[in-house]
C-alpha cells in the first residue's frame, strides 16, 4: 500500500452562513495534525469578533489517486496603480491566452463590483466563456472552489530554502500552487485573480502557456471585492467533469527547480 494522504478543508462562515474564509491542504497523514491547527486559527481570525462557525473536513486520499503536476514558472510585473495593472492583465489575457477583449473586461468588471450576483464576493471562482464572457457556473453565487491540492512536502522545503523565509508572502505560495492545478484543466485557457482583502493589492494572470504572472497592483486599496475568473473554451466544455476535477481530483504540485520562480 502507498503512503496515506489527507485532504483538509477549512471554511469559516458567519451566523447567516455567509462565507468568510476558506483554505485547503493535501498533506501526508503524519503531517495532518500539525496542519489542522493553522487552518483553525485562520478560520477564527477571519471571523474576528463576529459570531460564526469554522468547519473542518478531513478526508483520506490513497496515494494511487494523486496526480503530480509541475509548478508554473512565475514572474512579477511592476505597475504603478490598479488601472495600469488591470489594463496590462487584460492585454495579457487577450494577446497571449486567447481570451476575447469582451470576456477579459467582463471578468474585471465582475471582480471590481463583487462577482456574486446577489452582491459581494464568492466562495469559489467564476467560470467565464473565453469568447463571450458569459458566466457558466451552475450556482453563480457560490462558484467553483478548487480543493485537494498542495505543494508536495519536498517541494515546499525547496521553496522555503530558496526564499529563506523572505519574500514572497504565503499568499503567493498558496495562489501559485492552486494555479498549477487549474492550469492543467484542459478546457481552462487562463485565469485572472485578485484578493477580496481590501489591503492586499497584487493579483495574477496564469495559464499553461504564460505561467504565473504576478502584477504588483491589480485592485484599488480599500476595495473589499475580489475573485477568480477561469476562462473556458466552450467547444470542449463539460461542466460536471471540470467541476469534479477542480473540486475533488487530488493533485500535488512539484517544484523541481526553484529557479522557475526566481523572478517573482
In the block, residue with C-alpha cell 473589499: 224
In the window 181-210, what residues touch ligand AMP (CB under 6 A)? Answer: 193, 195-197
Least distance from C-beta 181 to ligand AMP, angstroms? 9
Please choose, from the candidates 99, 125, 130, the residue with its C-alpha nearest in 3D space to the C-alpha of residue 236.
130
Choose between 152 and 191: whose C-beta lies nearer to ligand AMP.
191
Q: How far apart are the first and last CA of the chain?
A: 39
Determine phi and psi for 12, rounding to 5 degrees.
-110, 135
Least distance from C-beta 227 to ligand AMP, angstroms? 4
- 211 is a contact residue toward ligand AMP (CB under 6 A): no
Least distance from C-beta 218 to ligand AMP, angstroms? 11
Which range in 43-51, 70-78, 141-149, 153-161 contacts ligand AMP by CB under 6 A? Answer: 141-149
Least distance from C-beta 1 to ligand AMP, angstroms? 29
- 133 is a contact residue toward ligand AMP (CB under 6 A): no
- Start-end of H helices in 67-169: 82-97, 101-113, 153-163
Order across the sheet with 227-232: list the strands: 74-77, 211-215, 203-207, 188-194, 227-232, 126-129
Choose between 32 and 177: whose C-beta lies nearer to ligand AMP.
177
Question: What's the grid cell of residue 17?
Answer: 452562513
- 226 is a contact residue toward ligand AMP (CB under 6 A): yes
C-alpha–C-alpha distance, residues 21 and 43, integer Å? 6
C-alpha–C-alpha distance, residues 22 and 197, integer Å? 13
In the block, residue with C-alpha cell 492585454: 91
In the window 143-182, what residues touch ligand AMP (CB under 6 A)? Answer: 143, 145-146, 175, 178
Answer for which of 25, 130, 214, 228 binds ligand AMP (CB under 6 A) is 228
In the window 16-35, what residues touch ligand AMP (CB under 6 A)? Answer: 22, 24
C-alpha–C-alpha distance, residues 8 and 20, integer Å? 17
Answer for which of 43, 85, 227, 250 binds ligand AMP (CB under 6 A) is 227
Contact footprint for ligand AMP (CB under 6 A): 22, 24, 121-122, 124-125, 143, 145-146, 175, 178, 193, 195-197, 226-228
Amino acid at each position: 500500500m502507498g503512503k496515506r494522504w489527507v485532504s483538509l478543508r477549512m471554511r469559516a462562515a458567519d451566523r447567516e452562513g455567509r462565507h468568510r474564509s476558506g483554505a485547503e491542504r493535501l498533506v501526508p497523514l503524519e503531517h495532518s495534525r500539525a496542519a489542522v491547527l493553522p487552518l483553525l486559527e485562520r478560520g477564527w481570525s477571519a471571523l474576528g469578533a463576529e459570531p460564526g462557525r469554522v468547519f473542518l473536513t478531513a478526508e483520506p486520499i490513497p496515494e494511487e489517486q494523486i496526480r503530480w503536476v509541475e509548478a508554473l514558472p512565475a514572474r512579477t510585473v511592476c505597475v504603478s496603480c490598479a488601472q495600469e495593472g488591470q489594463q496590462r492583465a487584460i492585454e495579457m489575457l487577450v494577446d497571449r491566452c486567447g481570451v476575447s477583449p469582451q470576456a477579459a473586461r467582463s471578468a474585471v468588471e465582475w471582480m471590481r463590483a463583487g462577482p456574486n450576483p446577489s452582491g459581494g464576493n464568492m466562495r469559489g471562482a467564476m467560470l467565464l466563456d473565453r469568447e463571450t464572457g458569459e458566466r457558466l457556473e451552475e450556482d453563480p453565487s457560490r462558484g467553483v472552489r478548487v480543493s485537494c491540492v498542495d505543494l508536495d512536502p519536498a517541494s515546499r522545503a525547496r521553496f522555503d530554502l530558496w526564499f529563506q523565509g523572505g519574500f514572497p508572502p504565503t499568499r503567493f505560495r498558496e495562489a501559485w500552487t492552486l494555479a498549477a492545478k487549474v492550469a492543467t484543466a484542459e478546457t481552462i485557457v487562463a485565469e485572472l485573480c485578485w484578493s477580496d482583502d481590501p489591503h492586499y493589492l497584487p493579483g495574477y494572470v496564469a495559464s499553461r502557456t504564460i505561467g504565473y504572472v504576478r502584477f504588483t497592483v491589480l485592485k484599488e486599496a480599500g476595495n473589499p471585492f475580489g475573485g477568480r475568473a477561469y476562462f473556458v473554451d466552450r467547444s470542449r466544455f463539460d461542466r460536471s467533469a471540470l467541476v469534479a476535477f477542480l473540486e475533488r481530483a487530488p493533485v500535488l504540485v512539484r517544484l523541481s527547480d526553484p529557479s522557475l520562480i526566481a523572478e517573482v
